[in-house]
Amino acid sequence: MTQDQWGTIRDELHQTMGANSFQSWIEPLKFVDAEAGIARFRVPTNFFGNYVSQTYGDMILAKITRFNPSIRRVTFDADTTSQSAAATPVSKAPQAEISEIAAPAVAVKPASLSDSLPGSPLDKRFTFDTFVVGKPNELAHAAARRVAEGGPVTFNPLFLYGGVGLGKTHLMHAIAWELRTHQPHLNVLNLSAEQFMYRFVQALRDRKMMDFKELFRSVDVLMVDDVQFIAGKDSTQEEFFHTFNALVDQHKQIIISADRAPDEIKDLENRIRSRLQSGLVVDLHPTDYELRLGILQAKSEMYARMYPGLEVERGILEFLAARIVSNVRILEGALTRLFAFASLVGKPISMDLTQECLTDILRVSERKVSIEEIQRKVADHYLIRHSDLVGPKRVRTFARPRQIAMYLCKQLTTRSLPEIGRHFGGRDHTTVMHGVRRIEELRKQDAQIAEDVELLRRSLEA
């Protein structure tokens, strides 16, 4: 990678992550060099490096591999010695890069197995243990588990698809870990479709197609991540098709992921499409509230161990689960930042701190639910008039739905307590707060209320 390419990547990051985070975390990075599969950056402090690595490492790596697929790792090291290393930016001629790409040669002896196979390194965090199962992903999870048992091949291929950040790569790595542990004799190869193409092109160029074919046909389990990538790339598709058929003929398990269903991938040859559909096709649905909460709980327990003395209350997790409706990666990023921020400023994780630290994320995922909409839904649900919902009467038939509506306004909108109060006949913010707390308690004691709240929240989120 060149400084120019890093410049392009920086611009892209600027567009996608918002000015604040960009200025705090990306701008200070100094690109040093990219050698032996590692892109190195200089950072101001160790803490900074850890934080950037955890929060943005994957994203940065993904962007770098577009320019230079041989890069497998990014490091962020603090400059402990002097400025010398950062002083001379390394700029390489394209020719040099090509030879750099060629450096990690494909293992010539396929028989010498897994470690020498040109796959992606497995992420230690992506195991079945750390995968939180909920309605939206239970089928995909069950299918992955089955394949990971490594028994007789029942469905081939297993085709997992779903939007970005919903756990496809996580599940594939989990399968690979499981097989590695319990079926160490199996030759498992996990790589992205992009790497497949890259290896293929490299083999063509180096006239090593025989080695390439032999290598790919010698695996017992082949996993190809993000297969949509080969759409429109004709010769790669062709080769993929042959590899695929050869393995299926030998009853070797194949696992494929994509960001959409086989019939929605454009520019894919029909024979490949139908091959992909011939096994089990399962999708990962967008997360729902429960799954998000489950994931947040699991991850925050992990962080609480990493940052002794820091913890997040359930209320804040519920708030985040309701408000960050995008993918799991964003959810994780939010939590990572929250812990890092709190430990940096030395404060407990409060609601205020959460909102301050995550403004940009919360703004993006702000839903369009309005106070009026909430009031209408709640009034309809309890068969009362809107005027009674916001009016002064204190009988339970009106007061309870009113508190539920206030609670939902607090959870689902960004309006402040005084603003919410104004929409409820000019009530004081302490009244709203009382209402919100009351429902928080009642949800734990009264199954009917819990169910009503759940139902309303779902229909408002839909």
Residues that bind ligand ADP (CB under 6 A): 125-126, 130-132, 137, 162, 164-170, 295, 328-329, 332
Q: Give the separation between CA 281 and CA 384, rounded to whole angstroms.
A: 46
Contacted by 137, from Mg ion, ligand ADP, none: CB < 5 to 8 Å by type: ligand ADP
Q: Which is nearer to ligand ADP, 132 or 191 (CB)?
A: 132
Q: Which amino acid is at 329?
A: R
Confirm if 122 and 181 have CB atoms less than 8 A apart: no
Q: Maximum Cα–Cα distance for the chain, whole Å? A: 84
Q: How far is the CB of 419 from ligand ADP (least distance, A)?
A: 34
Q: Which is nearer to ligand ADP, 69 or 162 (CB)?
A: 162
Q: Which is nearer to Mg ion, 212 or 229 (CB)?
A: 229
Q: How far is the CB of 225 from Mg ion (least distance, A)?
A: 6
Confirm if 371 and 423 have CB atoms less than 8 A apart: yes
User: Total residues contacting Mg ion (rule CB under 5 A)?
Assistant: 2
Q: Which is nearer to ligand ADP, 110 or 162 (CB)?
A: 162
- Within 164-223, which residues bind Mg ion (CB under 5 A)? 168-169
Q: How far is the CB of 282 from ligand ADP (least distance, A)?
A: 13
Q: Which is nearer to ligand ADP, 101 or 302 (CB)?
A: 302
3-class secondary structure, 424: coil
Q: How far is the CB of 299 from ligand ADP (least distance, A)?
A: 7
Confirm if 240 and 119 have CB atoms less than 8 A apart: no
Q: How far is the CB of 310 from ligand ADP (least distance, A)?
A: 20
Q: How far is the CB of 332 from ligand ADP (least distance, A)?
A: 5
Q: Which residues contact 396 (CB under 8 A, 6 or more apart)?
A: none
DSSP per-residue letters across 127-172: SSTTPPP-GGGHHHHHHHHHHHTT-S--SSSEEEEESTTSSHHHHH
Contacted by 212, from Mg ion, ligand ADP, none: CB < 5 to 8 Å by type: none
Q: Edge to edge, what strands does the sheet with 38-43 contain?
A: 30-35, 38-43, 73-78
Q: Which is nearer to Mg ion, 55 or 169 (CB)?
A: 169
Q: Which residues contact 267 (CB under 8 A, 6 or more apart)?
A: 231, 232
Tokens standing for residue 69: 């697929």
Q: Phi-psi bin for 36: left (phi > 0), alpha (psi -120 to 50), beta?
A: left
Tell me the residue nearest to ligand ADP as measured from the CB: 167
Confirm if 71 and 1 have CB atoms less than 8 A apart: yes
- Within 47-86, which residues bind Mg ion (CB under 5 A)? none
Contacted by 374, from ligand ADP, Mg ion, none: CB < 5 to 8 Å by type: none
Tokens standing for residue 300: 């925050």
Q: How far is the CB of 134 from ligand ADP (least distance, A)?
A: 7
Q: Does 237 bind Mg ion (CB under 5 A)?
A: no
Q: Which is nearer to ligand ADP, 298 or 344 (CB)?
A: 298
Q: How far is the CB of 392 from ligand ADP (least distance, A)?
A: 46
Distances (CA, A) of 11 to 15, 20, 26, 60, 329: 6, 14, 10, 12, 21
Q: Which is nearer to ligand ADP, 161 or 212 (CB)?
A: 161
Place of tokens 């611009």: 11
Q: Phi-psi bin for 326: left (phi > 0), alpha (psi -120 to 50), beta?
A: beta
CA nearest to 221, candidates 123, 315, 149: 149
Q: How far is the CB of 167 from Mg ion (least distance, A)?
A: 8
- Within 129-168, which residues bind Mg ion (CB under 5 A)? 168
Contacted by 167, from Mg ion, ligand ADP, none: CB < 5 to 8 Å by type: ligand ADP
Q: Which is nearer to ligand ADP, 157 or 167 (CB)?
A: 167
Cis peptide before 28 (omega within 30 of 0): no
Q: Which is nearer to ligand ADP, 323 or 423 (CB)?
A: 323
Contacted by 131, from ligand ADP, Mg ion, none: CB < 5 to 8 Å by type: ligand ADP
Q: How far is the CB of 47 from ligand ADP (least distance, A)?
A: 21
- Chain residues binding Mg ion by CB under 5 A are 168-169
